[in-house]
């Protein structure tokens, strides 16, 4: 039985991945920062590693393991020197420490979940391909790129295989961040000035990402590769809004506003980053992924959005009791 270590096992993606691996008879150990962050309902073994950084001891956790899926990361962007140092400590130094210790105890492969943001923030007329230049804009994306570079060095110096996965925005039951914020706004019934937005964005459903990570754990052709993935169907922000609204059984209250005016108002309100994600295009080309691994997303966009909306409505019903 293959033994897989999942870092960040108590996170949005980590929980789903651990549960899926157990369901197909993998031996799973979740590496977590603190024991109190693991719910009583979790049915996988876990091991506490403490704070992640350049001094973290992973050896006990890694012993007799075949593959590591590295999900643990700090995601908050910041400009303060201390916050930047914390971002780099976890995402870069922690990844480097994990990789070298994994190689030292004989781990065969490390699957690293990076981000499409290492390529940049926006596409203009063409999709990102895996061969495109890497041009991260914010501190988080730069830390992910630096971690990728560290892992390539480890692969060159050791026998351990490295697989890099660069997903776009991940959504599904349990989602947080911008996607959850959009669902809450739609659910509130307040109008959204997004009808004039003419963009296209690639997303990845949680179920599809988990399916792909499991493939990367064992597929021989994945070794040494970087992959871009998505649901395979890009959506404009107005279309995404309509689909979420349908799943929530709410009207999609979209009204037109010139994107330039919308962006100016967002800048004045300190919401420019969120506006850029809603109005800009970010598309990925999965042709290399299909060619190398013959992978197709098992869950369609419509089903995935419906599942996410159903989860949200369930949470809302519990809160209303």
What is the set of active-site residues? 140
| DSSP line for 217-248 | HH-GGGTT-EEE---S--B-HHHHHHHHHHHH
Q: Whose CA is closest to 210, among 82, 24, 1?
A: 24
**DSSP 3-state of 290:** helix
| Secondary structure element (H or E) that encloses residue 4, with its range | strand 3-7
Instruction: Determine contact, residues 117/141, Cβ cutoff 8 Å.
Output: yes
**DSSP 3-state of 267:** helix
**DSSP 3-state of 77:** coil
Please tell me the distance from the alpha carbon of residue 50 to that of residue 58, in angstroms, as a whole number.
10
Residues ≥6 apart with Cβ < 8 Å to 41: none
Residues ≥6 apart with Cβ < 8 Å to 106: none
**DSSP 3-state of 235:** strand
């Amino acid at each position: 039985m293959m033994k897989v270590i999942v870092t960040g096992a108590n996170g949005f993606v980590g929980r789903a991945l651990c549960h899926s691996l157990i369901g197909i008879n993998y031996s799973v150990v979740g590496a977590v920062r603190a024991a109190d962050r693991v719910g009583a309902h979790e049915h996988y073994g876990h091991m506490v590693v403490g704070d992640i950084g350049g001094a973290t001891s992973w050896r006990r956790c890694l012993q007799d393991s075949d593959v590591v899926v590295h999900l643990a990361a700090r995601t908050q962007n910041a400009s303060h020197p201390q916050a930047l140092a914390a971002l780099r400590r976890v995402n870069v130094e922690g990844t480097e420490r994990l990789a070298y210790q994994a190689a030292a105890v004989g781990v065969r492969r490390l699957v690293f979940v990076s981000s499409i943001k290492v390529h940049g923030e926006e596409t203009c007329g063409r999709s990102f391909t895996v061969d495109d230049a890497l041009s991260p804009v914010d501190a988080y994306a730069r830390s992910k790129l630096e971690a990728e570079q560290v892992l390539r060095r480890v692969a060159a110096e050791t026998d351990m295989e490295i697989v890099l996965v660069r997903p776009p925005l991940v959504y599904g039951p349990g989602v947080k961040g911008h996607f959850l914020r959009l669902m809450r706004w739609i659910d509130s019934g307040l109008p959204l000035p997004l009808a004039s937005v003419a963009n296209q964005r690639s997303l990845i459903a949680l179920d599809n990402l988990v399916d792909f990570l499991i493939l990367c754990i064992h597929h021989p052709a994945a070794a040494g590769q970087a992959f871009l993935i998505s649901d395979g169907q890009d959506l404009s922000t107005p279309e995404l809004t309509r689909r979420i609204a349908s799943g929530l059984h709410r009207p999609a209250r979209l009204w037109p506003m010139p994107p330039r005016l919308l962006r100016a108002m967002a800048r004045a309100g300190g919401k420019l980053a969120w506006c850029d994600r809603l109005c800009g295009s970010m598309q990925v080309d999965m042709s290399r992924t299909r060619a190398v691994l013959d992978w197709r997303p098992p869950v369609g966009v419509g089903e995935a959005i419906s599942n996410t909306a159903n989860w949200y409505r369930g949470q809302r019903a519990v809160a209303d009791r």
